[in-house]
Amino acid sequence: MKIALFGKHYQSDTIEIICQVIDVLEKNGAEICIEKKYYDSIKEEFELLNEYETFKKHDDLNESIDFLISIGGDGTILRAATLVRDKNIPIVGVNAGRLGFLATVQVENINTFLPKLFTNDFKISKRTLISLKCSPPNEDLRDINFALNEVTVSRKDTTSMITIETFLNEEYLNSYWADGLIIATPTGSTGYSLSCGGPVLMPENSSFVITPIAPHNLTARPLVIPDNIEIRLNISGREDQFLVSLDSRITTVTKETSLTIKKAPFEIKMVDFFEEGFLKTIRKKLLWGEDKRN
């Protein structure tokens, strides 16, 4: 079995986590390859017992990779998704961050959960992605034009609200007068969209959520739509430029730009262990249903 390791950046307090992960994999006879920048940062801090194969980009990953282990927080998993893309390599999230809603393998469970990869004692959760097309084209989005969590449009160089004219399958929906607009996947429904009042969707749900950011009109509520609908956005406001983000990647567009958002043609596979399912995660991470009276 061949397993790839990826981390967004190295922090000295994660040394024990990295050592634990590598130790479990080697004890189970796995072949290990590590993302080049991550590998170099690790080697600067401590000496690895073995030399490992490295990879740099999406094209370096092939069908020989059985899993990609992301070591970090949820942001690291979002970056890992840009490496995996359409390669169908399942991602395992080891939480070296804080909340870790996607990175469900906690430090104390590394020795318990990771060996399950070698006995097929897990399930695969297929996660829908959302894609973005700009007209005229935006060079920043030409290569990586998809998101696992959400696509967000927001104001840039102004404190004034912007107007986001929204169409669903070319039928006019609404003109949101707000600080911005979030189009979230089921995976992203527990992120930025949730903090702006959006609903939580189960990962298997075939829907997107349209959530306005601080809308001027309080009747503009979050809307759940089928994920086979194409969304088109036209933006206007006092300034000429606006921000568009795909997960953690941000670019600038002009108000002449038309944004087309729809379901991406591929999915990301996440490894879920039976002891840490979605319902348990929202109870534990979001304190779902917590009430001091009970």
Assign residue 94 the CATH number of its domain. 3.40.50.10330
- Amino acid of residue 280: K
Distance CA 10, CA 105 (A): 18
Number of C-alpha atoms within 13 angstroms, CB side, residue 250? 8
Same domain for 168 and 279, yes or no, is no
For the chain, what is the largest distance between any 2 Cα atoms, rounded to a whole number of angstroms? Answer: 61
Joined together, the tokens standing for residue 155 give 């104001």
Same domain for 106 and 150, yes or no, is no
Same domain for 53 and 155, yes or no, is no
Same domain for 133 and 257, yes or no, is yes
Distance CA 186, CA 203 (A): 5
CA distances for 158 relative to 116, 192, 239, 256, angstroms: 51, 21, 7, 17
In a domain, 229, yes or no: yes
Whether 82 and 58 have beta carbons less than 8 Å apart is answered as yes
Same domain for 171 and 187, yes or no, is yes
Same domain for 161 and 115, yes or no, is no
Same domain for 278 and 260, yes or no, is no
Q: What per-residue confidence (pLDDT) applies to 212?
A: 97
Same domain for 218 and 106, yes or no, is no
Same domain for 78 and 198, yes or no, is no
- The candidate with the shortest Cα–Cα distance to 77, out of 244, 206, 269, is 269
Same domain for 91 and 189, yes or no, is no
In a domain, 294, yes or no: no
In a domain, 32, yes or no: yes
Distance CA 8, CA 76 (A): 5
Q: What per-residue confidence (pLDDT) applies to 14?
A: 77
In a domain, 292, yes or no: no
Q: What per-residue confidence (pLDDT) applies to 51?
A: 84
Same domain for 135 and 114, yes or no, is no
- The residues annotated with a catalytic role in the active site are 74
Please enumerate in sequence order all residues whose Cβ is within 8 A of that of 216, keeping only pairs 6 or more positions apart, or say none: 161, 177, 178
Give me the number of domains the chain comprises. Answer: 2
Tens of each residue's pLDDT in the chain, 294 residues: 999 999 876 565 677 888 899 999 999 999 999 999 988 888 776 776 678 899 999 999 988 999 999 998 889 999 999 999 999 999 999 988 776 788 889 888 999 999 999 999 999 999 999 999 998 888 888 888 999 999 999 988 778 899 999 999 999 999 999 999 999 999 999 999 999 999 999 999 999 999 999 999 888 999 999 999 999 999 998 888 899 999 989 999 988 889 999 999 999 999 999 888 888 888 887 887 777 776
CATH number of the structural domain spanning residue 155: 2.60.200.30
Rg (CA), the chain: 20
Same domain for 152 and 61, yes or no, is no
Q: What per-residue confidence (pLDDT) applies to 214?
A: 94
Q: What is the pTM of this model?
A: 0.91
Number of C-alpha atoms within 13 angstroms, CB side, residue 202? 6
Domain extent, residue 179, equals 129-265
